[in-house]
Amino acid sequence: MEKPQHSDADSDQEKSDFDEVIGTHKSWLKSVLGLGALEAKLWVTSSAQLLALMCGVIFLLLTTWLLIIASSAAIAWSYGFSLVGILLTATLVTFLSSIVLLYLVKQTLKSMDFTRTFDAIIPTEDE
């Protein structure tokens, strides 16, 4: 029995079909990557805008806190409290506030435990 001979036309047709499949996949991958790049660009822009807005909120909250302390100090001074006592009280209130915020930061960091994620990705030898 003779083996059927592939003609050059069949081989060119297969090569053409293969090139077409590769071209289709390349164009699909390019559109998917383009969409991903567009989404990433929108995400980065939105994140920058959110960061700027949060900085504004933090600035306003800090200003409000200082004005509350200044208003309390002015009211206390109008009632005859000593200026040194008012300043020491304001300093103590600010210091205690920073301790409370530091405690909240530590609690937040403690709750950000990534060991479950690491264990899921890279199991320990015990498992």
* pLDDT tens-digit readout, 3-62: 555 556 667 777 788 888 888 888 888 888 888 888 888 888 999 999 999 999 999 999
HSE-CB for 33 with a 13 A CA cutoff? 6
Amino acid at 51: L
The tokens 């003609």 sit on which residue?
A: 7
pLDDT band (50, 70, 90) for residue 87? very high
For the range 31-37, what are the long-range contacts, defined as Cβ-Cβ under 8 Å and sequence gap of 24 or more? none
- Is residue 87 within 8 A of residue 72, CB to CB? The reply is no
Residue 34 tokens read as 């383009």
What is the per-residue burial (b if ≥16 Cβ within 10 Å, else e) of 25-51? eeeeeeeeeeeeeeeeeeeeeeeeeee
Q: What is the pLDDT of residue 114?
A: 67
Q: What is the pLDDT of residue 35?
A: 82
80 compared with 6, residue with greater pLDDT: 80
State the Cα angle at 70 between 79 and 99, rounded to 5°: 115
Average pLDDT, the chain: 84
Does the pLDDT value for residue 127 go beyond 60?
Answer: no
Does the pLDDT value for residue 95 go beyond 90?
Answer: yes
Lowest mean pLDDT among 46-50, 88-92, 102-106, 109-113: 109-113
Q: What is the pLDDT of residue 81?
A: 94
Residue 92 tokens read as 């103590």
Q: For the purposes of burial, counting CB atoms within 10 Å of the CB of 69, is it exposed (0-12), middle (13-18) or buried (19 or more)?
A: middle
Q: What is the pLDDT of residue 96?
A: 94
